[in-house]
Structure 1
Amino acid sequence: MSLRIIAGQWRARKIVTPAGETTRPTADRTRETLFSMLASRLGSFEGLAIADLFAGSGALGFEALSRGAASCIFVEQDPAAIRALRSNISNLQASPQCDVRATSVLSLGPAKAPLDLILLDPPYQTGAGEVALDKLQRLGWIGPATWISLETAHNEVPSIKGLQMSADRKVGKARITLLRMAPAPD
């Protein structure tokens, strides 16, 4: 199966997805809704440092890079998905902007600096996104200016201590939740 990048410099370019049932690529309509939600808040993706966690084929990260993000850390542990991800990086000639980490999101270490945007599309109904975000907050990946997108099943309502919901939208079988760091209590 292949997906198309929706907008930006790689608009309409195909990216491959891994075969099998292990990876569930984000549907075009869901990606379109997500990036519309982000664009209305960020204004532009130009120069952003981002991460695509539970990356699969990298569709979310490539969409952000296509729209001008400066760099993307892709984190994925499934071997078939990593092969698809590396193939897509090669086909798009995006190596200089990409950092692939073939590991579990939960084994990431401390961040050098908070990222501008973190995109998470974990397996549905597992709570993996909440667990990952809790850990990433403690490790410095999330700062006051960081935007976070968490995709879950439409009936999951994420709640992560220290983060507050900025927007929430159901799209088909998916729920997109945009999160920010909660302001420190006075």
Structure 2
Amino acid sequence: MNKARARKRPNASITTKAQSSIRLIAGQHRGRKLPVLSADGLRPTTDRVKETLFNWLMTDIQGSKCLDCFAGAGSLGFEAVSRHAESVTMLELNEAAAQQLKANQQLLKADNIDVINTNTLSYLATSKTAFDVVFVDPPFRQQLAQQTIDLLTQGWLAEHALVYVETETESPAPQVPANWQLIKEKTAGQVAYRLYQLT
């Protein structure tokens, strides 16, 4: 399935009949492949996009506290850990996908990963923790990116935090606060991806 992260439609069914994997590109776990549950309706994110993103983040990821809002297969979160992020919190609604994230965490012996099986929007409406890097890569065509951005502004972002947002190309760019500076932007196929920094 996935060279990057899995994404699900509502009520997507998970099957363990076949497995694919994600590959960590660089860092302490470079080349490591982690199993991913095959699931109907999961959207892959390509290695090409992931590599571009982490090139953008090259000088910022080490020692950072990261939040992966729609973890899916965990490709971005595990890549961040491999590149020496201080900690990564992974939010994932699908229970089977969350269990696979926890299993892969154990494979990497990464005790600085916290996997939470939860609805992201509900979680972000609770008590706040400031993160340095946030990944927002939700299921397409559900307006989740904009809702997530709106919630992140309510205490979830550290000073000068970086926020990665991935959306479908046919959608307009998300509306962001005036203090979010767009520093990088690209498209790849049906995906538009942007990196913002708080100023």
TM range (shorter): 0.7 to 0.9
More helix by share: 1
User: What residue in structure 2 maps to residue 177 of structure 1?
Assistant: 194
What letter is aligned with 1:68?
H
Aligned residues: 176
What letter is aligned with 1:33?
T
1:90-145: CA deviations, max 9, x gaps? Answer: 11111x20111110111111223x2110011101122201101101211x112331
Name the CA distance, whole Å, in 2 between partners of 1:173 and 1:131.
21
Report 1:119-134 matches (<5 A): 119-134=135-150
User: What residue in structure 2 maps to residue 31 of structure 1?
Assistant: 50
Name the CA distance, whole Å, in 2 between partners of 1:44 and 1:147.
9
1:145 aligns with 2:160: yes
Report 1:36-75 matches (<5 A): 36-39=55-58, 43-75=59-91
TM-score (norm 2): 0.82
Contact 2:166 2:194 in 1 (8 A): yes
Name the CA distance, whole Å, in 2 between partners of 1:25 and 1:65.
20
Question: CA distance change for structure 1 residues 160 and 180 in 2, over 3 Å: closer, same or farther?
Answer: farther
Contact 1:2 1:14 in 2 (8 A): yes
Name the CA distance, whole Å, in 2 between partners of 1:155 and 1:34.
20
What letter is aligned with 1:32?
E
More strand by share: 2
Question: CA distance change for structure 1 residues 66 and 45 in 2, over 3 Å: closer, same or farther?
Answer: same
1:166 aligns with 2:183: yes
Structure 1 residue runs of 4 or more that deviate by more than 6 Å after TM superposition: none
Structure 2 gaps of 5+ residues are 1-19
Report 1:87-102 matches (<5 A): 87-94=103-110, 96-102=111-117
Name the CA distance, whole Å, in 1 between partners of 2:56 and 2:133.
13
Structure 1 gaps of 5+ residues are none
Question: CA distance change for structure 1 residues 144 and 158 in 2, over 3 Å: closer, same or farther?
Answer: farther
Name the CA distance, whole Å, in 1 between partners of 2:61 and 2:69.
18
Cα RMSD, aligned residues only: 1.5
Deviation at 1:22, TM superposition (A): 3.6
TM-score (norm 1): 0.88
* Identical positions, percent: 34
2:157 alignment partner, SS class: coil
